Amino acid sequence: MPSALAATDPWPELPLAAWQDTCETLHRWTQMAGKVRLALTPRSNHWWNVALYVTARGLTTSPIPYQGAAFELQFDFLSHQLLLLTSRGGTSSLPLAPQSCATFHERFLELLAAAGIAVHISPLPCEIPGAVPFDQDHAHASYDPEYAQRFWRVLLSAQRVLSVFRAEFLGKCSPVHFFWGSFDLAVTRFSGRRAPDDPTRDAVTREAYSHEVSSVGFWPGGGAFADAAFYAYAAPAPPGFRDAPVRPAAAHWDATLGEFLLPYAELRRAPAPDAALLDFCRSTYAAAADLGQWDRAALERR
């Protein structure tokens, strides 16, 4: 079980090497819940209808309408259960414990069926290159409860700061939400202008980036990210964006990703991590908005 320190530290240590197997497994498990929301909710702009949300105990789909009622899927990282709650009073659960992705997928579908929920989801994971379908994946079978809980506590703290940042904006802005495809928590501000059409994008990303955006978020690491980090980008990036001064000093431009990064380990070392993260959010947004000639006077709360 989680150590006393990890359970009270709002910014616990989260080195990817210590929990990468759990991270990759949990990524796939959250995709199953997210795919249910995708299948049963009306499509919203920029795919906002598919995201998960941070709760006081984990992650949730929020209520999903179904046959005149509603149900909700909650990942509880305190009791380590996936909960299925219905508006008709039903409650059932699936333990979060070491088990293969294939086994979890089978039990997940059984959980839905037992509650009378009939839904088809694609077994192929999204945004994971070379991924094996859920029902054939016996390699990803790890679940370390301490690090799963640490991850959620980082999300909880990140949401706290990103919510303050979001409240400073009057223009169109996304919720602070968790995308299960890319496995990151993000908030996105919009200039109000459409973005130039990019024929190289697929249908999903064309919808996601149909308008000019400045986005900031947290990702636990993997692939092109060496470790956990906060990131910020503009799409399309205005000329000079990569060379703009941003804060705090630990933040830097990553040419491979085309984004600013603030390593999570560096944020933890800051005297005031919340203030440092808010500084990162504000300075990267200011770079995007100023260089992109956004109408800041009309878009921001003074």
Residue 1 falls within a domain, yes or no? no
| Cα–Cα distance for residue pair 144/2, rounded to 1 Å | 9
Is residue 78 scored above 80 in pLDDT? yes
**How far, CA to CA in Å, does 214 sit from each of 13, 62, 118, 132, 168?**
28, 25, 38, 33, 14
From 136, 159, 175, the end of a domain falls on 136
DSSP structure string for 3-15: -HHHHH-SS----
pLDDT for the residue numbered 198: 86
Is residue 106 scored above 90 in pLDDT? yes
Residue 268 falls within a domain, yes or no? yes
pLDDT digits (tens, 9 = 90+) for 112-147: 999 999 999 999 999 999 999 999 999 999 999 999
- Which pair of structure tokens corresponds to residue 166? 């979001």
Question: Can you tell me the mean pLDDT for 60-84?
Answer: 98
Strands 184-194 and 229-235 turn out to be unpaired
pLDDT for the residue numbered 161: 98
- Which pair of structure tokens corresponds to residue 270? 């800051």
Full residue range of the structural domain in which residue 250 is found: 145-299
- Residue 290 and residue 150 share a domain: yes
pLDDT for the residue numbered 226: 85
What percent of the chain is modeled with pLDDT above 70? 98
| Cα–Cα distance for residue pair 10/12, rounded to 1 Å | 6
- Residue 124 and residue 98 share a domain: yes
From 112, 136, 160, the end of a domain falls on 136
| Cα–Cα distance for residue pair 264/10, rounded to 1 Å | 13
From 136, 167, 193, the end of a domain falls on 136
pLDDT for the residue numbered 3: 55
- Residue 211 and residue 113 share a domain: no
| Cα–Cα distance for residue pair 167/151, rounded to 1 Å | 24
- Residue 158 and residue 72 share a domain: no
pLDDT for the residue numbered 255: 95
Is residue 7 scored above 90 in pLDDT? no
Is residue 6 scored above 80 in pLDDT? no
- Residue 119 and residue 217 share a domain: no
Residue 31 falls within a domain, yes or no? yes
- Residue 89 and residue 124 share a domain: yes
Q: Are the beta carbons of 22 and 144 closer than 8 angstroms?
A: yes
| Cα–Cα distance for residue pair 104/97, rounded to 1 Å | 9
Residue 10 falls within a domain, yes or no? no
- Residue 227 and residue 89 share a domain: no
pLDDT for the residue numbered 200: 87
Q: Are the beta carbons of 270 and 10 closer than 8 angstroms?
A: no
- Residue 152 and residue 200 share a domain: yes
- Residue 233 and residue 277 share a domain: yes
- Residue 75 and residue 167 share a domain: no
**How far, CA to CA in Å, does 85 sit from each of 73, 90, 153, 207?**
7, 6, 23, 31
Residue 177 falls within a domain, yes or no? yes
| Cα–Cα distance for residue pair 179/81, rounded to 1 Å | 20
Could you count the other beta carbons within 10 Å of the beta carbon of residue 199? 5
- Residue 228 and residue 175 share a domain: yes
pLDDT for the residue numbered 203: 85
Residue 8 falls within a domain, yes or no? no
pLDDT digits (tens, 9 = 90+) for 148-164: 999 999 999 999 999 99
pLDDT digits (tens, 9 = 90+) for 181-240: 999 999 999 999 999 988 888 888 998 999 999 999 999 998 878 899 999 999 999 999
pLDDT for the residue numbered 2: 46
- Residue 116 and residue 19 share a domain: yes
Q: How many domains does the chain have?
A: 2
Confidence of residue 4 (pLDDT cuts 50, 70, 90): low
Four-CA torsion 71, 73, 77, 78, nearest 10 degrees: 20
Residue 4 falls within a domain, yes or no? no
Residue 153 falls within a domain, yes or no? yes
